């Protein structure tokens, strides 16, 4: 896998250390004796935030920011400083954080890593996308310079299946409890409460999707980010505009033509853009296929959660937003959202 060049940031971190200061807002500002936790992606950070809750003695720093792709992220000086000061690092895993080895080396992080994909069955390439034209996932993809963005461990978008998010919460809680045993009771209680909300979310999604006839549950997204979701909730993944797990990849003309043909053949009614990706390709595909495009405020949250105040500011909010729009595209009216999820 191609490494990212981070030596300039490392040099900046060294200079700040020699000067006796650190960037404002980093976890270095945490009180003495606090458990300093760094989480990588927006989803992992939100799950961790719910496990931590309002427990005193813990500080949490989120590296990837809202609407920022995990695939194209490059750590800043402040990020590397926070990582270097961390006691615990919580990651998504499955090769999603391609920049992680370089960041750890540059920051000097030597704490405990919690890999939240533990215990989750990982999909292979094209799993969950069995209804798509296989050529759409093979030779018709033009990659960026990081040509090996294939995620050798499989599909990294594990959080799109809510039951996987529940597993991730349990793994995070256990890891934090091991790192700070005197706070284990608080972590376990917070995790149990949040897992209860996730169970309600899973039941709401399942009940609403099950109410739609199976042959109408057709889905086209911007890139291959929803394989776990479609497999878990029995949705037909007709195809993706960017036929790759990596949203930096680009579709070829042949792949675009194949997807337009698949949309017209299957009767797909909508194409979904994603909040962290430019909607241009989705607009083009939808126009050529003669179907509705969901973009802008109606884009789906996939690789990143949204900014504060948006529908996708939290993991639960992002799932409610995504499923509500999918149901709308199928002509279905969602049931009332449980009070605990609002």
Both 231 and 265 in one domain: the answer is yes
Whether residue 162 is found in the same domain as residue 95? yes
Q: Is residue 208 part of a domain?
A: no
Question: Is the predicted pLDDT of residue 334 greater than 90, yes or no?
Answer: yes
For residues 184-199, average pLDDT: 98
What is the mean pLDDT of the segment spanning 315-334? 98
Q: Which residue has better confidence, 248 or 56?
A: 56
pLDDT one-digit tens code per residue, 34-70 = 999 999 999 999 999 999 999 999 999 999 999 998 8
Report the distance separating Cα 32 and Cα 93, nearest Å.
29
Residue 111 lies in a domain: yes
pTM, 2 dp: 0.84
Question: Which two structure tokens, joined as six digits, stand for 173?
Answer: 């809680």
| Same domain as 162, residue 270 | no
| Same domain as 225, residue 106 | no
Same domain? 241 vs 169: no
End-to-end CA distance of the chain: 41
Residues 90 and 18 in one domain: yes
Residue 188: inside a domain: yes
CA–CA gap between residue 58 and residue 52 (Å, rounded): 7
Q: What is the pLDDT of residue 7?
A: 39
Average pLDDT over residues 315-320: 98
Parent domain of 46:
7-117+154-196
Q: Is residue 230 part of a domain?
A: yes
pLDDT computed for residue 318 by the predictor: 98
Residue 227 lies in a domain: yes
Q: What is the pLDDT of residue 32?
A: 58
Same domain (yes/no): 181, 63: yes
Angle in degrees, CA 225, 273, 263, rounded to 5: 85
Alpha helices in the chain, H assignment, sequence order: 7-19, 42-52, 77-85, 100-107, 162-179, 184-210, 227-232, 253-266, 280-289, 315-329
What's the token pair of residue 136?
Answer: 């759409």
Average pLDDT, the chain: 85
Please name the residue that has the structure tokens 């050798």.
152
Q: How confident is the model at residue 126 (pLDDT cuts 50, 70, 90)?
A: low
Clarify whether residues 166 and 30 are in a common domain: yes
219 confidence band (pLDDT: 50, 70, 90): very high
Task: Measure CA 333 to chain center.
Answer: 26
Nearest residue to 87 via CA among 112, 115, 53: 112
* Same domain, residue pair 160 and 246: no
Q: How many domains in the chain?
A: 2
Q: What's residue 16's pLDDT?
A: 40
Asked if the structure places residue 124 within a domain, the reply is no
72 pLDDT tier (thresholds 50, 70, 90): confident
Q: CA-based diameter of the chain, in Å?
A: 64
Whether residue 324 sits in one domain with residue 229: yes
Q: Which of 131-135, 186-190, 230-234 has the lowest mean pLDDT?
A: 131-135
Same domain as 287, residue 192? no
Here the CATH number for the domain that contains residue 186 is 3.40.50.1980
Within-domain flag for 123: no
Strand partners, 338: none
Asked whether residue 122 is assigned to any structural domain, the reply reads no
């Amino acid at each position: 896998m191609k490494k990212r060049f981070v030596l300039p940031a490392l040099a900046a971190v060294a200079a700040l250390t020699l000067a006796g200061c650190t960037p404002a807002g980093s976890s270095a500002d945490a009180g003495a004796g606090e458990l300093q936790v760094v989480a990588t992606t927006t989803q992992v950070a939100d799950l961790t935030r719910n496990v931590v809750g309002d427990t005193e003695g813990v500080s949490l720093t989120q590296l990837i920011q809202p609407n920022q792709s995990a695939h194209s992220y490059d750590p800043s000086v402040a990020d590397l400083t926070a990582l270097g000061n961390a006691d615990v690092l919580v990651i998504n895993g499955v090769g999603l954080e391609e920049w992680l080895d370089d960041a750890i080396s540059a920051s000097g992080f030597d704490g405990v890593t919690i890999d939240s994909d533990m215990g989750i069955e990982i999909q292979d390439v094209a799993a969950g996308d069995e209804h798509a034209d296989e050529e759409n996932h093979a030779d018709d993809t033009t990659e960026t310079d990081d040509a090996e963005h294939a995620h050798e461990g499989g599909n990294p978008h594990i959080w799109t299946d809510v039951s996987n998010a529940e597993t991730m919460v349990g793994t995070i809680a256990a890891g934090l409890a091991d790192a700070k045993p005197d706070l284990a009771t608080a972590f376990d209680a917070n995790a149990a409460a949040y897992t209860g909300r996730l169970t309600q979310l899973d039941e709401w999604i399942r009940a609403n999707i099950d109410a739609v006839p199976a042959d109408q549950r057709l889905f086209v997204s911007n890139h291959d980010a929803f394989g776990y979701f479609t497999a878990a909730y029995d949705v037909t993944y007709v195809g993706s505009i960017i036929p790759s797990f990596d949203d930096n990849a680009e579709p070829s003309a042949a792949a675009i033509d194949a997807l337009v043909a698949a949309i017209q053949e299957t009767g797909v009614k909508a194409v979904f853009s994603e909040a962290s990706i430019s909607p241009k390709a989705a607009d083009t595909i939808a126009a050529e296929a003669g179907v509705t495009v969901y973009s802008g405020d109606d884009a789906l949250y996939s690789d990143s959660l949204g900014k504060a105040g948006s529908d996708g500011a939290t993991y639960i909010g992002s799932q409610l937003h995504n499923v509500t729009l999918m149901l709308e595209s199928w002509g279905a009216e969602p049931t009332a959202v449980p009070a605990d999820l609002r």
